[in-house]
Amino acid sequence: MERMTTSEQLALFGLDDEAQTYHDAGRTGFFSLLVAHDGDKQQSSHRLTDMPVVLGLVDTRRDTWMTQAEFIRPNRRVVNLARIGLLFADLDTYRQPWTTGRTPEALAASVLHHCAAEGVPTPSLLVYSGRGIQAKWLLEGTVPRQALPRWNACQRYLIDRLASLGADPQAKDASRVLRLVNTVNTKSGNVCRAVHIEAGQDGEPIRYSFEYLAEMLLPVARWTIEQQCRDRAERQQLKLLSGGKADNLRGFSGRQLAWDRLEDLRNLAELRGGVREGERMQHLFWRLNFLLLSGATHSGAMYHEAAALASELDPSWSYRSKELMTLYGKAKAYEAGEKVTFGDKAFAPLYTPKNDTLINLFQITADEQRQLRTLISPDLATERRRERDRKRDTARRRAAGAVDREAYESRSAARTRPWEVLRMSRRSWYRAGKPAATADGTGASPITAATGANGLAQVPPLLLMAEPAGQAAGHDLVCPQRNGAAPGRFARRPE
């Protein structure tokens, strides 16, 4: 049987195959399609379980884009992200003069060469979009919403490394849509198709561990960041770092903290069974502020994200977008890298309140704080830190061979009472050197047990005590009661 050529294999890699590399129809959640129709674009969201049917109905003659991530609600707003299973870059190679006249396969070869030269892992898939190249790095699993700030950091650094290939800096967020394989690009008349598949050992497109990609892409590895955070926490309390976008890692802890605060406010609403009418704008304002501060979205998509957050608070609520104009201005300044000077310190233009301010503003009780991640009092933060330290110390002791107290006490002499098996008193058992019982329930004699490995007595038993002073050698000792000697004295046997 003849083997298929690479071009024949790529031709068989169709619309369903490409989508299934980063979407799983067996999971819960939603994906979205964006379709060009009569000069406009229409978006629709569908359940992942319906993906095979929906993709089978796609009109390949129209421009069609698909979300790369999966969402918890039927829209592609980043606040509703469920998970994402790849990294990607949209390379507008047609904007680069050196690409003129090159075939899609030649463009793919150039991308592979550049990745090797820059130390970027080889993309799992290269898709010709009709004019440019879509590079995708598939993951072994999915990245949950909690790790979105770190995923964003990898995306930013990846786009920077591929800038000379025309990487679109606006196409790096988790809500991004990319062209669907086998659909036409009406701007060029070319069909979107796979032009390179990097196969793994199983013959399928290679998949990478997210930890591995983060180590390769980020200037500082995750464990180094975590160690720095632990060392810093031992010296001082955690403070929000200023945001800014001067580089990829500056403010990384601040962006993660901002995302966690957004999640805490959403969890707070769930704990309270919803948000009251007079508090909805307050919730919307601060949620949107932390969303922007986390870097998960930008000012251009702010009002779309605000609409999704408002619908989450109350589907029937018609909020006034004018109340968010101030926040929009601050978001624009934040993206431009501007700083606000207060005293001798510079801060991000977006709001970076202290925990106490938010706790008082939202009247968060102590019981509610225990179910939140970051909006907690200093006392609770200290309590959690001590608990983490205790668990870490316990794990270190276990690794060194130490046993826990319950196991230690279960094997202690006070619990097992080995002297009872030997029919001895506790004191006699200790004086005899703690003899162990044999399989038949008996132990060594007191004399044997008291003798060490060198044959010398470790504990002098009564029968081996030295004879009294003044005793002549060669004379036997007899009990005084047997020859009438004075009580308490040993008598010499008559010759």
Handedness of CA 228, 147, 18, 101 (dihedral sign): negative
Walk along the chain (495 residues) and give the pLDDT tens digit of each residue: 344 345 555 655 677 788 999 999 999 999 999 999 888 999 999 999 999 999 999 999 999 999 999 999 999 999 999 999 999 999 999 999 988 889 999 999 999 999 999 889 999 999 999 999 999 999 999 999 999 999 999 999 999 999 999 999 989 999 999 999 999 999 999 999 999 999 888 888 999 999 999 888 887 544 454 555 555 454 444 343 344 443 333 345 788 999 999 999 999 999 999 999 889 999 999 999 999 999 899 898 999 999 999 999 999 998 877 789 889 999 999 888 888 877 778 888 899 999 999 999 999 999 999 999 999 999 999 999 999 999 888 888 888 877 777 777 777 777 788 888 888 888 888 888 888 876 555 555 555 544 444 444 444 444 444 445 444 444 444 444 444 444 444 444 454
The predicted structure's pLDDT at residue 406: 75
- The answer on 418 and 365 residing in a single domain is no
* Single-letter amino acid code for the residue at 32: S
Question: Would you state the pLDDT for residue 488?
Answer: 46
How many angstroms separate the CA atoms of 373 and 145, rounded?
14
Same domain for 181 and 258, yes or no, is no
Amino acid code (one letter) for 189: G
206 plus 79 within the same structural domain = yes
- One domain, residues 209 and 242: no
Whether 311 and 198 map to the same domain: the answer is no
Same domain, 249 and 191: no
252 shares its domain with 180:
no
Do both 171 and 40 map to the same domain? Answer: yes
> What's the structural domain count of the chain?
3
336 vs 310: CA distance, rounded Å = 27
Whole-angstrom Cα distance, residue 325 to residue 113? 46
Structural domain includes residue 271:
yes
Establish if 12 belongs to a structural domain. yes
**Single-letter amino acid code for the residue at 65:** W
CATH at residue 175: 3.30.70.1790
Give the position of tokens 């500082």: 220
How high is the pLDDT of residue 437?
72
Is there a domain that residue 474 lies in?
A: no
297 vs 313: CA distance, rounded Å:
19
Report the predicted TM-score, pTM, of the whole model to 2 decimal places: 0.68
Say what the pLDDT of residue 303 is: 92
Indicate whether 52 belongs to any domain. Answer: yes
Spatial distance between the Cα atoms of 308 and 284, rounded to a whole number of angstroms:
10
Tell whether 278 and 307 lie within a shared domain.
yes
Tell me the residue range of the domain where 22 lies: 6-218
Instruction: Verify that 188 and 102 share a domain, yes or no.
Output: yes
What are the structure tokens assigned to 119, written together? 């130390």
State residue 61's pLDDT score.
94
CA torsion, points 293, 296, 299, 301, in degrees to nearest 10?
A: -150
> Considering 337, 355, 388, which residue would you say is the last residue of a domain?
388
What was the pLDDT predicted at 483? 46
Instruction: Give the whole-angstrom CA distance, residue 252 versus residue 243.
Output: 8
Question: 128, 190 in Cβ contact below 8 A?
Answer: yes
User: Can you give the pLDDT at residue 405?
Assistant: 73
- Rounded Cα gap, residues 405 and 411, in angstroms: 10
Element (H, E) at 342: strand 340-342
Give domain status of residue 26, yes or no: yes
Residues 160 and 262 in one domain: no
Same domain, 45 and 159: yes
Give the separation between CA 166 and CA 158, rounded to whole angstroms. 12
Nearest Cα to Cα of residue 283 among 313, 322, 311 = 313
Distance, in Å, from the CA atom of 434 to the CA atom of 444, rounded to the nearest integer, reads 10
Within a domain: residue 477? no
Question: Residue 281 corresponds to which tokens in the numbers above?
Answer: 């704008």
Q: Is residue 476 part of a domain?
A: no
CA distance 129 to 117: 24
Whether 431 is covered by a domain: the verdict is: yes
